[in-house]
Structure formats: C-alpha cells, structure tokens
Structure 1
Amino acid sequence: MAATRKSRDLTQGDVFAHMARMVIPMCLGIVAMMAVGVVDAYWVGQLGTAQQAAVQFVFPVNMAVMSIAIGLGAGAASVVARAAGRGSHDRTRRLATDSVVLSFALVIVTSAVGITIIDPLFTLMGATDAMMPHVRDFMQIWFAGIVFIVGPMIASNILRALGDAIVPSVIMVLAAILNMALDPLMIFGWGPVPALGVQGAAAATLISNMVVFVIAMAILIFREKIMDLSWPGWNELLWNWREIARVGIPASGSNMISPIAMSIAFASMARFGEGAVGGLGVAMRVEAFAIIPFFAMSACIGPIAGQNGGAGMTDRVREAFFKSFLFCAGWGLAMAVLLFAFGGMLAGLFLPSAEGRAVAELYWRIVPFTVMGYGIAMVASAGFNGLGRPLQGISLNAIRGFVLLAPLSWVIGSVYGSTGVIAGIGAANGLMAVLGVIYTLRFAPLTADNGKQRPVAPKPASAE
C-alpha cells in the first residue's frame, strides 16, 4: 500500500509525465460519458416526441444540480491534494471523509427539495401538458437516486487528488457501459423486466451509478484506507466543511459561467435566423468533442497543483501551468487544422440548410485557431482551485465569459451579422489566451492557500 501511494506522489518525478498519465485515461472516461447522452437520446426518441422533448427539457436542471456536485468535487480534491502534498496522512483521511459526508448531506437535502418542486419548477420553465407526465417520471427517479450519481464523482475526485487517474476513469467508463446496456432493457422491457418508458431511462442511470458507487466507496475504504469513520467533533467537522466549501462554492459558480456566456452568444446569433443558430450549435458540439483533452487536463491539473502547492514546491506548480498551457496551444492548433480542412464536409453531413452550413464552416475556419484560450481559462481555473485559490479561477472564467465573449459576440455581431458573432467568439478566446498566460505565470500567487489555521483545542489543565 505504501509503495502504491508513493508511486502516485505528484510532488516527485517529471511533471508532464504525471499530466500525460492522468489526462489520457480521463479522456476515455469523458468520451464514454458523452456517449451516454447520445444513446439515451436515441432510445428515448423511439418512445415519441413528447418523451424525447421531456428528457431533453430536464437537461438544464440536471446540469445545474451537477454543477453543485462538480464544485463539491473540486473542493474535496483541493483540500485532499494539499494535505497529501504536505505528507499529512491523518489529515488527508479526515478531509476525505468529511468531503464525502458533506456531499451526502447536501445531496439528501437537494433530493428532498427537488422531488417536492418538480411540478412548479418545470411548469415555470414552460413544460407543456404533454411533456409534464414524462418530466415527472424521469425526475422523481433521478432526484431520489442522486446520491448514487454524485457519490462516484466525489470519490473519483478524491482518488485523482491522491494521484490515481486510472480508477476514476475506469469508474466513468464502467458507469457509461452499464447505462448504455441497461437503456433498451429498462425502457422497452424484456422477459420479466417490464417496459418502464421514460422511467426506464432514469432507472438505467440510477442502477449503473449504484454499481459504481459501491465500487468507488469500496476502493476508498479498503484499498486506499482513506476513510476515517471516527467522530471528529462538531468544531472540526464544520471547520473542514467550510474549507471544502471555500473552494467548492466558487468552483460551482465558475462552472456555470461558460454556459451562460454561450447562451448570450446564441441569443446574438438568433437575430440572424434559425439556420444560423443551427450552424452555431453544430459547430460548437463538434468543437466540444475536439477539445475533450482540455476538459481532461482541467480535471488533472488540480491534484498536481494541489499536491505540489501543499508541499511548497512553487517551481513545480509553475511548470505544471506552463506545460498545460503549451498542451492547450498544441492540441488546439492541431484540431484547428483538421476542422479547417474538413469543416465543409462536416457541415454537409450535419446541416440541411445552406445558411447553417455556411455558419458552421466559417466557425471552424476561425474559432478553433483561438480555442486554446478557452482551454487555458479552464486549466488555470482548475489549477487555482487545486491551490485553494478559487477566486483567481472564477475571475479568469468571468473575464472570458462576461467581459470578453458575451459583449464581443453581441457588439461585433450587431455590426457584421453572423460573421461578427463568430469573430467575437474567436477574439474572446484569443485575448483570454494572452491574458491567462501572462497573469498566471507572471503575477498570480502560485503557493497553496490553506485558509485560516485550524484552531487546536487547548489541552485540559493538569490537576494540582
């Protein structure tokens, strides 16, 4: 066990080798999870238009709740990685345990509240009478089992914080395979299994995540021996929860910035017709697949920065940021060349209208050459979270989303039409690349911020 833990010590060995070892399996996990959404949409689409619309309609609410879980995961990874970097095994165990407990407590409250507000919430959002029964069927099961969906995410973040990238990726792939295998069985039924329709899609997600939840918790408890089941006392428990939330809450907010900013860009494009919106949507979806390594790198740099920052190795933290930025630049340019070359063919495959094809092709000829700026913002933000400095991270994402992308796409689009919207997105990414690199490598503090020192209870006075 000691040898295994030592082999995953991110404060030793080549920094980029650690990155590569963690990013490659993480990419596979992300691809697998993206595939689940495609498969779900296909099978539910066989049930009918109302059912498919209902499952697509719940997506924003699901993502909002999952953003909270992502934030909790970032907070857990940050405190655990910094404690591991300091070599404090007892403190690492305590923080890992309290992270899991906090996530369970919040998720149980979210589940109870969510089930009670399904009807008013989705009615307010505009769900039709035809959609509401299917929305209710899906969300009742989803909210009831959300602890099993969030649990593996928290466990995976803790494992990555300890330097293990393989097991979290295996967990993601296994959950995806089980979900995709269970979808047709639970939706349409077979043998003794009844056809559950939309409920079956939710049940497939729940069952697959229950399986990997048990596996993930068993690994934390029996292999890593990282769970401390002793009672720490309210003072220490609340103190640890506050430290986790100090990173987790800003990380949750940071995770929501890009979707909001892109919604504004879509609103700007909507002024120029449905075909233009369709072209922008397809272009961004293809781009999202092309930059999966950016998402993987952002998931991996936090533990690397956290462990090295916790150990006081700021030179290694700077090296991690620098090499991750180089990676974003290299990968982004490679994907830009491919999309530039094959954009016309892809547009013809996915888009029926000439206007949509023109918008998508123009997007792929411009934006991917600056998309490294998006990757740099993501990676820098995640690295700062790992250092316990979430305000730096959320600031970078806010600058890209609200100071650059949303205003530029709207203003330039007002002058040059759909071409201007695309130019605004590209300009925002390019400016973010320059600002992100200069700020992070020249001006940002790269030491770990461990918050206020945890108070130690005074020893009882000895009797005289």
Structure 2
Amino acid sequence: MISCAPLYFAEQNQIVKPDLLNGEIRPTLVKMTFPMMLGIVSLMLFNVADSYFVSQLGTKPLAALGFTFPVSFTVISLSIGLSVGTSATIAKLIGAGDNSKARQLTTDNLLLTTLLMVLIAVTSTLVIDPLFRLLGAGDDLMPYIRDYMSIWFFGSIFYVLIMVSNSSLRASGDTKTPAMLMGFSSILNLMLDPLLIFGWGPIPALGIQGAAIASVIAWSIAAVVALVNLYVRKGLLVLRIESVSVAAQHWLMVMKIGFPAALSNMMTPIAAAIMTAVVATHGPEAVAAFGVGNRLESLCLLANLALSMTLPPFVSQNYGRGQGARVRSAYYSAVKFALLWQALIYLLLLMFAGGIGSLFSDSDEVVSLISLWILVVPLGFGFQAVTFLTASSFNAVHQPMKAMRISIFRLFILYVPLGYAGNYLGGLQGMFIGFVIANVCTAAMAFMWMKRHLQRI
C-alpha cells in the first residue's frame, strides 16, 4: 500500500479545522452559519439564472426545463443524503480524535460516490426518452429535453462531488470554503449562461444545451477546487485505498445515515405536489399565490436552513468526543434562535404584506390571497424550523431513522391530512391553518423526542 498524502502529515496527524470542541457555542455557530446563508442564496441564484435565460428562448424550452425538475431533484436529494451521511460520520470521527480513519473514510466515500454517479449518469442517459414520456413530455418537447439532460446527467457527477466534498469540509468546521465555492459556481454559471445559450463571436448559440454546458463547467471547476482544498488545506484526503472491503464498510457507514436522509428529502416535493393539486381546485389565482408563498417560505427560513447545515458538524464532533453537555447546549440554543428569529420574520412580513403581494402580481385577488398566506402560514415557521433542526440533530448523533420518522410524521400524518381537512372545512384559510397546526404539533413531538435522547448522552 503506497501513500501519497501531503508531506505535512509526516510531521503531524491533525486535521486542520476550527475548534468545535472547546470554542464558545453560540459565537461558533454564528460564525459557521453566516457564510452558509450566503452560500444558499447563491444556489438559489444559480437556478434563477438558468430559468431566466432559458425563458428567453421561448415557451417550449422553458417547459422542457420544467419537466426536468422531478428527475434533477431526485439526484439532488441523493446528493443531500450523501452529504448528511458524510458530514455526520466524518465529524464524529474527528471529534473522537480518529483523524486517520476520517481521512480514509473521506477518500473512500468520494471514490465510491464518483463510481455511483457515473453508473447513474450512464443508465439515466440511456432511458431519457421513456423516462420523460412517462412524466408526460410530448414529442414537441423531447428534443429540448434530450439536449439538456444528456449533458446534465454527466454534469451531475461533478455536482454531487461538490456537495459531498463541501459536507466533508463542513464536518471539519469549515463553512466559509463551501460557501465561497457555491458562490463561485453560481457567478461562473451566470456568466456562462448567456454566452453559451445565445452565442457570442466565434462561440455558437447552443440554446438550452448551452445552459446545461454552463452548469457542467461551473460544477466541474468548483469540484476540482473543493477536492484540492480537502487534500492540501484540510488534510482530509489520502491518495490510497486500504482495501475494497474497508472502502465498502466506510460506504455503508455513510449510507446508513445518507439513505434515510435522501428519502426524507424526497418526501417534501411529493407532499407539496399533493397540496398544490388541492389548491388548484380554487383556480389559477390561488395556485399563483400558493407558488409565491412557497418561494417566500424558502427566503423566510433561510437563516435556519443554513443553521441546519452547520449545527450537525458541531453536534457530531462533540458527540464523538462524548461531550453531551455541549451537544445539549447547542441544540437548545438553536431551538431558541429558531423560534425568536421566525417570530421577528413574521412581524416583518405582516408590516409589508400588501406591498409584498403587489411585487408578484397586479391581480387584486392574487394579492389578497398572498396577504392571507402571509397572515397565517408563517405563524408556523418557527416550529417548522425546530422540526428540521431536530431532524438534522438526530442525523448528527447517528439516529437517521428517527429523523426520517419525523419527516414522515410531519408531512403525511399531519401536514397533508390537516391541510386537506382544513381546505374541506374552511377553504384556503382552513388549509393554511392546518399547515400551522401540523408544524406546531410536529415540533412539540420532535423536541420532546430529542430531549429524551439527549438526556442519555
């Protein structure tokens, strides 16, 4: 077995990382979370840029891009699951002081992730036509879908590598580098989109295919930078494989957490699709308002979404070191922040409710329905944040099935049934109230469940 690890590992066996085991808890979490907020915003802009520039090509290319969402989201869900499993596993090893195993696991995980994604890309490319016809795409859209997805599938290899590499960096406590990489890829995509879609000088206009190529270039460069950071700066990669059996064990360790996390993530769009179908019975104005509400929801929960990505490495490292008191303190601090922050966001939304609605529509009915959404639904955002922070904390302490049960309970035991019942009894207002009740009840259950678990560590 030949090792090509960086030279400085011959002198020290420490992974370069911020001190999550001894630093003050709240300042550490704040310092880690703020860069991730910027990173999440940059990812949102990545998707907005693709949609905007493709929309300039006409209705059919934009409709084709819309058809790709369910398939691309499945790959994204897999990448999120792998990221969750990677972060929780590596952070626990770092916290326990097992740096050598953390490096080997990171290496094995990235190798197997690459092999898995190559297999998925090849297989998916071969079934583009039957897959998208099954989703309802017609003959007029299939050429656009083929042009886009035949490139996107292979580009997704680099996308997943970025996600898993970034989660490895976060496991060491570094959230600035992942945020910078996400921002860099978004800016590069924004620059390349118009250049490749519409052409310029000697560069031909590639249409929707250009959008896919722009994404692949941005992802591939960011993936290389991420891997270099892991190897050179963080010391979390070694250029060796101990054995196939050890690599398989490491993969299973990651997937034990990653697979349930991926399934949990896939449940959200399914529940959203069901409720959108119910909203559609109230007319296109209701669907428009509900769509605006969903976009506002992501923005309103931005800080806590970022916190849900930075809390797990902190929890996992301290869990691995056996510092239960710091784990409890971090979790309870996150819950308090979630409730207080979302209460402030709700007050701000109320102050500007009418103006927010008019930004998205000239229709009085749509503006009125957006205002109704703002009045009711964000009341539950603090509790919704508690729910996903609790789920991410369960993943961090290597209890993935409990995290998945929370998602199932929220979405399919409470959210969808209560939303449907509320709609039956009180129309859209009743549905929105049902959403709030579902979030409150789930948060209470999840919090008590986590509290009991934390008392045992």
Contact 1:265-1:421 at 8 Å conserved across structures: no
- Structure-2 change in CA distance of 1:3 and 1:174 (3 Å): farther
**Counterpart AA for 1:213:** A
Pairing partner for 1:285 from 287, 291, 295: 295
For 1:172, the equivalent position in structure 2 comes to 182
Contact 1:96-1:227 at 8 Å conserved across structures: yes
Q: 1:405 & 1:84 partners in 2: Cα distance?
A: 37
| Percent of residue pairs bearing the same amino acid type | 35
Contact 1:15-1:316 at 8 Å conserved across structures: yes
Q: 2:212 & 2:254 partners in 1: Cα distance?
A: 30
Give, in angstroms, the shift of residue 4 of structure 1.
Answer: 9.2
For 1:452, the equivalent position in structure 2 comes to none
Q: 1:445 & 1:404 partners in 2: Cα distance?
A: 27
Contact 2:324-2:454 at 8 Å conserved across structures: no
Q: 2:343 & 2:14 partners in 1: Cα distance?
A: 37
Deviations 1:417-440 (A, max 9, x none): 111111111111122232222221
Q: 1:29 & 1:318 partners in 2: Cα distance?
A: 27
Which runs of structure 2 are paired with 1:33-432 in the superposition (5 Å)?
Answer: 33-432=43-442
Q: 2:115 & 2:383 partners in 1: Cα distance?
A: 37
Deviations 1:169-208 (A, max 9, x none): 0000000000001100010111121111000000000001
Contact 1:186-1:197 at 8 Å conserved across structures: yes
With 145-154 and 175-184 compared, the bigger mean Cα shift is at: 145-154
Q: 2:165 & 2:16 partners in 1: Cα distance?
A: 20
Q: 1:25 & 1:231 partners in 2: Cα distance?
A: 33
Contact 2:43-2:182 at 8 Å conserved across structures: yes
SS in structure 1 at match of 2:205: coil
For 1:461, the equivalent position in structure 2 comes to none
Alpha-carbon RMSD across the aligned residues, in angstroms, is: 1.6
Q: 1:309 & 1:393 partners in 2: Cα distance?
A: 17
**Counterpart AA for 1:346:** I
Q: 1:427 & 1:261 partners in 2: Cα distance?
A: 16
Q: 1:330 & 1:4 partners in 2: Cα distance?
A: 38
Contact 2:51-2:62 at 8 Å conserved across structures: yes
- Structure-2 change in CA distance of 1:445 and 1:197 (3 Å): farther
For 2:3, the equivalent position in structure 1 comes to none
SS in structure 2 at match of 1:371: helix
SS in structure 2 at match of 1:130: coil
With 342-351 and 246-255 compared, the bigger mean Cα shift is at: 342-351
- Structure-2 change in CA distance of 1:124 and 1:179 (3 Å): same
Q: 2:17 & 2:23 partners in 1: Cα distance?
A: 9
Give, in angstroms, the shift of residue 225 of structure 1.
Answer: 2.1
Contact 1:76-1:158 at 8 Å conserved across structures: yes
Contact 1:317-1:446 at 8 Å conserved across structures: no
Q: 2:236 & 2:309 partners in 1: Cα distance?
A: 21
Give, in angstroms, the shift of residue 402 of structure 1.
Answer: 1.1
**Counterpart AA for 2:371:** E
For 1:438, the equivalent position in structure 2 comes to 448
With 287-296 and 85-94 compared, the bigger mean Cα shift is at: 287-296
Give, in angstroms, the shift of residue 322 of structure 1.
Answer: 0.6
- Structure-2 change in CA distance of 1:159 and 1:7 (3 Å): closer
For 1:24, the equivalent position in structure 2 comes to 34
TM-score by length of 1: 0.93
Contact 2:260-2:404 at 8 Å conserved across structures: yes
**Stretches of structure 1 lacking an aligned partner (at least 5 in a row):** 448-464
Q: 1:407 & 1:267 partners in 2: Cα distance?
A: 14
Give, in angstroms, the shift of residue 213 of structure 1.
Answer: 1.0
For 1:462, the equivalent position in structure 2 comes to none
- How many residue pairs get aligned? The number is 447
Q: 1:6 & 1:150 partners in 2: Cα distance?
A: 24
Deviations 1:352-407 (A, max 9, x none): 43332222111111121221121111111111112111111111111111111111
Contact 1:41-1:52 at 8 Å conserved across structures: yes
Give, in angstroms, the shift of residue 293 of structure 1.
Answer: 1.0
Give, in angstroms, the shift of residue 446 of structure 1.
Answer: 6.3
Give, in angstroms, the shift of residue 445 of structure 1.
Answer: 6.5
Give, in angstroms, the shift of residue 443 of structure 1.
Answer: 4.4
- Structure-2 change in CA distance of 1:4 and 1:278 (3 Å): farther
Deviations 1:133-190 (A, max 9, x none): 1111000000122211111111100000000011010000000000001100010111
**Stretches of structure 2 lacking an aligned partner (at least 5 in a row):** 1-7
- Structure-2 change in CA distance of 1:443 and 1:144 (3 Å): closer
Contact 1:57-1:127 at 8 Å conserved across structures: yes
SS in structure 1 at match of 2:237: coil
Give, in angstroms, the shift of residue 7 of structure 1.
Answer: 5.6
For 1:453, the equivalent position in structure 2 comes to none
